[in-house]
Structures are given as structure tokens and as C-alpha cells.
Chain A
């Protein structure tokens, strides 16, 4: 583990909303090739943590460092979300945020925005290079749809997709930004067991084939224990445990957080 390249390094991240400390000095690392998971009871501050990392919130304290391979380290604090995405860190949302009145293909094409360059004047003139770029956007987006198994829906409106497919579309859209680290916020929320199993495979495939490291928030323990290592556990804004699935399962603090106290018999 230790010799693997460190991609994301969060040190002592703290986020205050007025008097409320939503995230309290949480540290976390994601290495190359890993599928890391962030778990914890509702309201533990997981999504806030994600929002801080992806630039939607500006954290009160702490450092978020990104170490892209072959590039200098960048500090993400206070960067705008689109800059963070440009740096290679893409995310999905807990409550699905697709562009519902755009087609499935277009949703993915939006993800290509930050990797393409046609500006206003070039779009008006629409010369050869712009047309080629457009075609490249369409082709690569379609390939991504195939990868997540949504190719047949390419021309449907995103809002007409079944729920599980919408979740996969969010992943495809995030992957279109060519990230090296993908943050998934409860990708399996609201899915049935079969859909969850498919998602399970999809995440593993992304990790292996695309060489994208993944950090996910999830409540589905089966999914988390199956695919992720390491696991970080948060409660009341604090990190209470980290380690391999086995270590987490046996950690008394985690059991307490999830099941309450008096764990002698219950656990």
C-alpha cells in the first residue's frame, strides 16, 4: 500500500456553518488504484466533506492537496468547482442532479466541456477544427454511454430514464471530464439489490479498466465491504475509524456509532 502514488490528501479539514461544526479536522488519503469509502450515520458530515473537496464549499480550516501524477501538487482550498473538475477530480451527487431536459448523450457531452476549447467566435464560424472537435465529443460521449450500458437511451431525455440508469448516467457524465479521481456520493441510494450488484461491477470496472481511483460515500454496507479498501468512518463530523473492511467491522467505535451503546450482546 505504502508505495502507491498518493492522489488526494486531506489534512485536518474543518468546516463550520456559523456555530455548527459540520466537519471536524478530518484527514483522509486516496491512493492510486484504490476504491476508498467514506461511511457514517446520516448527518455525519460526509456530503459536506465532499462539497469541501470539490470546491462547492470553502473549508474553514485544513488543507486539500491534490497530487496529480507527473504534475506539481495543487492545493484545492477555495478553488471554484469547475477548476477542481478541470484538475481531474469529478463527482456525482447524492440527490441526482442531471440536466433533465437534455438528452442522455448531451448530458455526457457537457462533461466534455472542460476538455474542449471551441469559444464563441469559433462556434459561430464553425470551421473544420470545431466540427472535428464536436464529432470527437459525440463519439467519446457515446463510448462512455456504452461503458455504463446506456447506449440504447442516448437520445432519450435524461428525466425519462429509470432511477438506476440516472445514477449510472451521472457516473458517465463525471467520467467524461477525464478525472483520475472520482467522488461518488451514495451511488447506490434508492437502488434495488440487482441494480446495486450491477453498480458494484461498474465501479470495479471503472477502477480497473479506466485506472480511476474512487472515493465513495455509501450506506449500503454490502457494497462497501465488497469493493472498498480502505474505509473511513465519520460520526458527528469527526473521523472515528479507518482501515480495511475487516478492521472496520471489528472496530468497537464503529459498532457503537451504528448500533448505539450497550453492544455486549447485540454486536
Chain B
């Protein structure tokens, strides 16, 4: 501790020395004299000392925790709570009720924000399958989102097909594109895979921008139908609430299915693939099938929620599907915790809702975002909530503990 203190003081002095000419000395040209700003330099000293000390403190804390983990594999309190099934069901019930009441309490603006956060929850959960579980880094995930959105927009424009017809179609088209992308990259891993998926994301966007006769180019498609409810006429407020409820249902559906997949034979194969590809095939897992299924199922959710996105905004153009979106979705997964469903949901809310509510600081958004990411990677690389391993029940356990 004392050592940290000394180090921090040294760092603070060093900073004062470095920034002295910039921060303390100012030449006032009108009065031809030099101003000495001693207060500023004091702030530099205090600031650098506090930051450096906090940095050291947290690093030391992390080191301690690491030792703990190696010895006992302790989980944080939150994780222990999450493992308690009883608590889990109660918490889920409360959350669901809150989610259902939300639009009745808040106004349309809040609902719209919440809908976009929920869209990102589904996107995050989808990407979580390929990145978090199967370990296939995908930097072009937004392409599948675009596929879903455009499939609704175009089919609605040309054939006047409704939202509910296209919702599954969008998912399946997303799936198909996932397989199409999956085939050429079966042999790639790591960085190469990331580059190819990045390219794929770009290709989709460039095609949408330039193939005007098909996608109406950069001007996009407007007047897309909102989802209908037995042909009822809805004003903006009620239709937002309606979309909100559809979104809640979609999120619940996604959580249910991804959770089942994660804890199944297929999910285990994905995780094994992430851990060690060669050992994975040597244990009899078909690599091609496993990879393709991870891609296709990840893309499925993006396609489906893309349909909803188009229906919500009633206008789409290629500008909504930039690399930035892919990066945000990937950040949601990484920040939330790879492979953890709860983590991804939390990550989506933090990354989408915080910027919305902190609009006053929007100039500093990217700065804060970058800093948060760096700090996260240093102090909690596994994400807010790391994936919880399923506990398996086996018969012998009881006898063993009885005998022992």
C-alpha cells in the first residue's frame, strides 16, 4: 500500500513536471507579462495522484481476486444469487411485470427508446451465439439485420405482405445468408475470420447503396407498414405501445430459445469449438455443421429483429446498417459477458440507454465509451457477468457425500 502511495506521488510529480510549461505558464500578450497559474498545476497534481492511486488499487484488487479464483473458484455474490433457481424465477417474474407495465407509465418517447434497446438485446443475444458461444468473431453482423429489414421493406412494397407473414421469413432469410457466409469461411479462424465477416458487412451495405433498381439506393424505402392488429387503425402512441409489446415477446422468445440451445448438446459443441477446434473435431464433432449452425442461428435473430426494426421506423436506408452498428452489437456482447445471456441483456441496456439519457454529454460519448471499454478489458475482461456453467445432477453425488 505504502509502495503504491509513493509511486503515485512520483507519478504525480512527473506529471506536474511534464505539463508545467503547458498548464502553469501563460504569456499574456496584451499586458506583456507572464501569468503563473499555480492552481491549475495543483489540480494536475491532485488529479494524476488520485487516478494513479485508484489504478494501482484496482489492479492490486484484481490480482488478489485472481488468486482467490484459482484457489477456490469463488463466484461473485451476484452469480451465486443467479444460481439460486428460486430467486431466478422470482426476479424474472418481477422483471416481466415491470416490462409489461412500462408503456402504461411512460410516454411514447420513453417507449421508443426502450424498443430500440430491446432490439439491441435481441441482436446481442443473436451475436452471442456465434461470438460468445462458438467463438466465431463476426464484425459484419449488421448485414443480417439489414437482410431482415430490407426483406420486410421490399416484400411489403412490392407484394404488400404484412408484418406477421414476413417476421419468420426475415428470420429464415437471415439464416440463409448466415449459411451463405458460413460456407467460404469454414476453414478460417481468428483474425482472418473477422476480416472476411467485416468484408461481408461492407458488401451488403455497398450493394444496398448502389443497386438502385432493387433497393432504391441511398434514398431508402419509406412508408413501410407498421405491424397490424386485426386491421385496427392505430395512432402513433398506441402503435408504439403495440410494437413495444411485440418486442417484449420477441425478447422473451429469444431468451428462451438461446438458453435452451446453450444448455444442449449443440450448445456444448459450440463452446467446445470455441475452446479448441482440433480437439473438438477429434472428439467426433462435425466442425462444418457446428460452425454453420452457429452462424445460421445467430443470423436468424438479426433477420427477425430487422423486420421489426423496419416496421418500427417505417423508413430504412443503408445508412442504418454501417460498421458502427456491428461494432456496437459486438461491444454489447463483450461488455456484457461473452456467452452469458443475462450479461448481454445488461450490456445492451447500458450501451443503448445510457447515451440516450445522457444526451447532455453527447459530445463526450465516444470518449466515455472508449474509456469504459479500455477499463473494462483491464479490470473485468470476462464482461459484467460471465457465463454461468450449468450444474449437472448425477446420481452418484449423493452416495459419495454420504459415504465421505
Contact = CB atoms under 8 A, between A and B. Distances in A.
A106 B287 CA distance: 18
A81 interface: yes
B281 A113 contact: no
B296 to A, nearest CB: 9
B287 A102 contact: no
B190 interface: no
Nearest to A139: B394
Interface stretch (A36-44, A120-128, A200-208): A120-128
A96 to B, nearest CB: 9
B195 interface: no
B261 A124 contact: yes
Contact of B275 (A90, A102, A124, A138): A102
Interface stretch (B7-15, B145-153, B262-270): B262-270
A134 interface: yes
Interface in A153-186: 154-157, 160, 173-174, 176-177
A80 interface: yes
By secondary structure, the B interface counts as helix
A211 B70 CA distance: 38
Interface string A89-119: 0110100011111110110011101111011
B101 to A, nearest CB: 29
A142 interface: yes
A113 B275 contact: no
Counting chain B CB atoms within 10 Å of each CB, the highest count among A97, A110, A142 belongs to A110
Contacts of A177: 283-284
A100 B276 CA distance: 9
Contacts of A82: 281-287
A123 B269 contact: no
A123 B282 contact: no
B271 A99 contact: yes
Interface stretch (B164-172, B238-246, B308-316, B385-393): B385-393
A90 B283 CA distance: 7
A156 B284 contact: no
Interface string B228-266: 000000000000000000000000000001001100111
B297 interface: yes
A137 B279 contact: no
Nearest to A112: B265
B276 A97 contact: yes
A123 B284 contact: no
Contacts of A157: 73
Contact of B283 (A56, A110, A152, A155): A110
A9 B286 CA distance: 25
B332 to A, nearest CB: 21
B396 interface: yes
A174 B280 CA distance: 11
B281 A80 contact: yes
Contacts of B400: 151-152
B317 interface: no
A185 B393 CA distance: 32
A155 to B, nearest CB: 7
B280 A110 contact: yes
B215 interface: no
Contacts of B257: 124
B275 A120 contact: no
A116 B73 contact: no
A155 B260 CA distance: 20
Contacts of B285: 82, 110, 113-114
Contacts of B297: 120
B375 interface: no
B283 A114 contact: yes
Contacts of B393: 138
B392 A120 contact: no
Interface in A198-245: none
A205 B73 CA distance: 33
Given A98-B279, A99-B275, A124-B257, A111 B284 contact: yes
Contacts of A101: 271, 275
Contacts of A118: 264-266
B394 A154 contact: yes
B395 interface: yes
A97 B278 contact: yes
Nearest to A87: B284
B338 to A, nearest CB: 10
Contact of B282 (A85, A120, A139): A85
Contacts of B269: 110, 113
A110 B268 contact: yes
Interface string B374-404: 0000000000000001011111100010000
B271 A119 contact: no
A261 interface: no
Contacts of A123: 260-261, 264-267
B394 A142 contact: yes
B287 to A, nearest CB: 7
A130 B265 CA distance: 9
8 contacts: A81-B281, A99-B279, A111-B284, A113-B283, A118-B266, A123-B260, A124-B260, A142-B394
3 closest pairs, A vs B, by CB?
A114-B284, A123-B264, A85-B284
Interface of B: 70, 73, 257, 260-261, 264-269, 271-272, 275-276, 278-287, 293, 297, 389, 391-396, 400
